[in-house]
Amino acid sequence: MRKNTLILISLAVLSFGLLGCPPKENGGNTTTAAGSGDILVGEYGSMTGAQATFGQSTHNGIMMAADEINAAGGINGRKIKVLSEDDQSKQEEAANAVTKLISQNNVLAILGEVASSASIAAAPICQSNKVPMITPSSTNDEVTRKGDYIFRICFTDSYQGEYQAVFADQWATANNKSKSVAMLTDVKSDYSRGLGAVFTAKFTALGGKMVGTQSYANGDSDFRSQLTAIKATNPSLLYVPGYYTDIGQIAIQARDLGITCPLLGGDGWESPKLIEIGGKALEGSFYTNHYFYADPAPVVANFVQKYKERYGQTPDALAALGYDDMKTLADAMKRATKLDGPSLRDAIAQTKGLTGVTGTITIGPERNAMGKKLVIEEIKNGQLTLAATIDPATGGKVEMNTGAPAAAAPATATNK
């Protein structure tokens, strides 16, 4: 009994030590602040588990950028060294991974996570240790509200969800369908719940109707009872803001049950595994994304070509965002007055007009990237095609891509 209490107390003291103590003067970083040797950067991600392609693609993008930066002379002569931790697609492990990177490895900054719930779990640890964290791809609005050391280089879900609703509304009009959408969200994911709420608010404000709302918990494998209830509402679209592993299964079971309408999803669909799992069941469905791999803009085309040469596969949006994330951090490191947490934080906050593969990166007052483009992709003949583009620089309208399959050329029309 006594022994247990003692263990508990020492555990509490240990964790308080990490979370609650005033940060070390150099922002928790002795090795790197010394001004010589490698600069240590931590990365935490889902290298294994249900979202494994998120972590793997992001890691590839980060490493490609780090190698390019080092080959070009590093940060004022010092090389970047990336230390990666696998959180196995679990949010508790995300917190452990970040704790380790900070307390054992003394990293100067942290890149990650992809899944918003994981970023939300780990951000407070970065914040209380004054270690800047830049998520490449967590879109839930709450992530960057965890503190002034937490940044993102992608758009938010209040932005993504609104445009999905506008797209759904325009799609229904263009296809002579009723403005009725059914929705299936993942209750265990901050991302899915948040996006569902934004979509619902905007779509109903536009005069649309949410006809059936159901939920699941990631890791479930049988979605039939929810889908049966949804089928009875006869929706024009089925909105499923989840992650690719579940989406593939949901699509297959929806078709088995006779649901024929297109599915609509968010960036969480993005994975080389999506079509592998969902196959034909996903034909004609849509999802929003951060970039389109066949965009002919030179910055995208060059990145895609270099990535293919290095990894032998087409980079997904996670790879592009991982690449941009590392480049954003390096840009800030070069501008920082000192390589410590607080100075680096200030430099990241001042990021402006940085050319990225996923668009120009400017960090706004709430530590989110401002004015990022959004694309809507359609799955046609087992391929991703460009269905629409939303570019805040040209008025933020949903511009439908009416041409031939975008990979063939016309992406230029909307992707200036």
What stretches of 216-286 show up as alpha helix (H) in DSSP? Answer: 224-231, 244-256, 273-278
Q: Does 268 bind ligand PHE (CB under 6 A)?
A: yes
Cβ-in-10-Å burial (0-12, 13-18, 19+) of 185 comes to buried
Which of 33, 39, 110, 115 is in the footprint of ligand PHE by CB under 6 A? 115
Give the residues across from 385 on adjacent strands: 378
Which of 140, 180, 285, 358 is in the footprint of ligand PHE by CB under 6 A? 140
Which of 89, 99, 106, 138 is in the footprint of ligand PHE by CB under 6 A? 138
Cβ-in-10-Å burial (0-12, 13-18, 19+) of 232 comes to exposed
Q: Does 384 bind ligand PHE (CB under 6 A)?
A: no
Smallest gap from Cβ 316 to ligand PHE, in A, equals 7
The span of 92-100, 111-119, 297-305, 364-372 binding ligand PHE (CB under 6 A) equals: 111-119
What is the rounded distance in angstroms from the CA atom of residue 234 to the CA atom of residue 238?
9
The span of 72-80, 122-130, 132-140, 224-232 binding ligand PHE (CB under 6 A) equals: 132-140
Q: Does 171 bind ligand PHE (CB under 6 A)?
A: no
Nearer to ligand PHE, 208 or 291 (CB): 291
Nearer to ligand PHE, 80 or 388 (CB): 388
Nearer to ligand PHE, 46 or 385 (CB): 46
Q: Does 318 bind ligand PHE (CB under 6 A)?
A: yes
Nearer to ligand PHE, 190 or 340 (CB): 190
Number of residues that bind ligand PHE (CB under 6 A): 14
Q: Does 162 bind ligand PHE (CB under 6 A)?
A: no
Smallest gap from Cβ 138 to ligand PHE, in A, equals 4
Smallest gap from Cβ 191 to ligand PHE, in A, equals 3
Tell me the C-alpha to C-alpha distance, in Å, between residue 120 and each of 38, 85, 110, 125.
29, 17, 14, 10
Specify the length of the chain in residues: 416
| Helix (H), strand (E) at residue 237 | strand 237-239
Type of residue found at 7? I
Nearer to ligand PHE, 139 or 144 (CB): 139
Q: Does 114 bind ligand PHE (CB under 6 A)?
A: yes
Q: Does 274 bind ligand PHE (CB under 6 A)?
A: no
The span of 39-47, 109-117, 253-261, 341-349 binding ligand PHE (CB under 6 A) equals: 109-117
Nearer to ligand PHE, 60 or 138 (CB): 138
What is the rounded distance in angstroms from the CA atom of residue 144 to the CA atom of residue 135?
9
Which residues are CB-neighbours of 303 under 8 A, at least 6 positions away?
Answer: 315, 320, 323, 357
DSSP 367: S
Smallest gap from Cβ 267 to ligand PHE, in A, equals 4
Q: Does 191 bind ligand PHE (CB under 6 A)?
A: yes
Q: Does 137 bind ligand PHE (CB under 6 A)?
A: yes
Q: Beta strand pairing status for 109-111 and 133-135?
A: parallel
Nearer to ligand PHE, 144 or 401 (CB): 144
Instruction: With beta carbons less than 8 A apart as the criterion, state whether 113 and 47 touch.
Output: no
Q: Does 97 bind ligand PHE (CB under 6 A)?
A: no
Cβ-in-10-Å burial (0-12, 13-18, 19+) of 211 comes to middle
| Helix (H), strand (E) at residue 136 | none
What is the rounded distance in angstroms from the CA atom of residue 397 to the CA atom of residue 170?
11
Nearer to ligand PHE, 274 or 336 (CB): 274
Smallest gap from Cβ 102 to ligand PHE, in A, equals 22
Q: Does 54 bind ligand PHE (CB under 6 A)?
A: yes
What is the rounded distance in angstroms from the CA atom of residue 123 to the CA atom of residue 386?
34
Q: What is the 3-state secondary structure (H, E, C) of 193-232?
A: HHHHHHHHHHHHHCCCEEEEEEEECCCCCCCHHHHHHHHC
Q: Which residues bind ligand PHE (CB under 6 A)?
A: 54, 114-116, 137-140, 191, 267-268, 270, 317-318
